[in-house]
Amino acid sequence: MKMLTYLASCLMAASGAGALMLGALKASRITVGAFDFNYNGLQVTKYNKSTTVQCATRVLANVNATPVFCVTSAQECWLTNATFPAGYDNSSAAGALPHKCYTTIKPLFDKAAALAACGGNPSGCCPAPFENVTNVGCVFTSFWFFPMLPFDVARAFCKGMWPTGDLYSRPGGTIDFTALNTYLDRMGVVLDVWVGATMVGVGQFAWPDGSAVGSSNYGSVLIVPQPDLTGFPAGGPAGCLLVMRTYGNQKLGDDYCIKPVNYLCHIP
């Protein structure tokens, strides 16, 4: 119950800079990429010839079901069940869309206040809802009401949470999987979790800084050692790494980058 109360307080934080009044609707501009509208479970309802205010009026009818909406360059109104919070920015993704997109979801926390508390220096700070976990680092994981996301969208979500935020990485070292999985268990995460490594060559994976993922971090699925260059169910190729909590031994394995799963954000 304390955790639920804490999460509710995070979600009810001040909407911060960028909040706009669109008619009677309060929303914030967000930046999405083309891939953000292509993952499983996302629903998009489209209406022709709509202004931003007209589109916002449609959202008011059921804001909980359609918290994210866009007005395209062709003046189509897109109502979606996406759950991108204020501050979401995937402009660095290939194929970023020129649509005007908005969210009615408040930030998970007041980033401006947290930065001020850090003296304006984001390095070395670990603001809530991130948690400093011994032998793991400053992390935040998706769980419960957070949607599962494909790799690129999950990474954009993490990067949008904090100036130095990203998916979890462990350059030049071995992940303490006992500590990491204990944290994920405590947070109620029972399925696979994205980390920040991607394929850079056949069977070769690297962290965002370019350093290779150490072989001691890889696990196995049944008797199949990882990475095996295929995902589950079998297909391929698999170009992103996750902590295998569903079928594997809770260490790293490769899977399809387009697969929606949980994710582990990190402030280095």
State which of 18-27, 227-236, 256-265 shows the largest mean pLDDT. Answer: 256-265
**Domain around 161:** 116-267
Looking at the structure, do residues 133 and 260 belong to the same domain, yes or no? yes
- Dihedral sign (CA 176, 182, 186, 189): positive
Higher pLDDT, 107 or 1: 107
Q: What is the pTM of this model?
A: 0.75
Note whether 95 and 32 are within 8 A (CB). no
Cβ neighbours of 268 (radius 10 Å): 17
pLDDT at 260: 87
Structure confidence by residue, pLDDT tens digits, 2-60: 332 333 333 333 334 468 888 889 999 988 876 777 766 778 899 998 999 999 999 99
The answer to the question of residue 108 being in a domain is: no
Q: Please report which confidence band the pLDDT of residue 131 belongs to, taking 50, 70 and 90 as the band edges.
A: very high
Over residues 100-122, the mean pLDDT reads: 86
Place of tokens 């204020």: 86
pLDDT at 58: 93
pLDDT at 60: 92
Place of tokens 């370019």: 210
State which of 79-88, 224-233, 257-266 shows the largest mean pLDDT. Answer: 257-266
The answer to the question of residue 8 being in a domain is: no
The answer to the question of residue 151 being in a domain is: yes
Looking at the structure, do residues 244 and 121 belong to the same domain, yes or no? yes
Q: Give, in order, the Cα–Cα distances in Å from 67 to each of 25, 87, 139.
A: 11, 14, 26
CA dist., res. 78 & res. 229, Å (int): 36
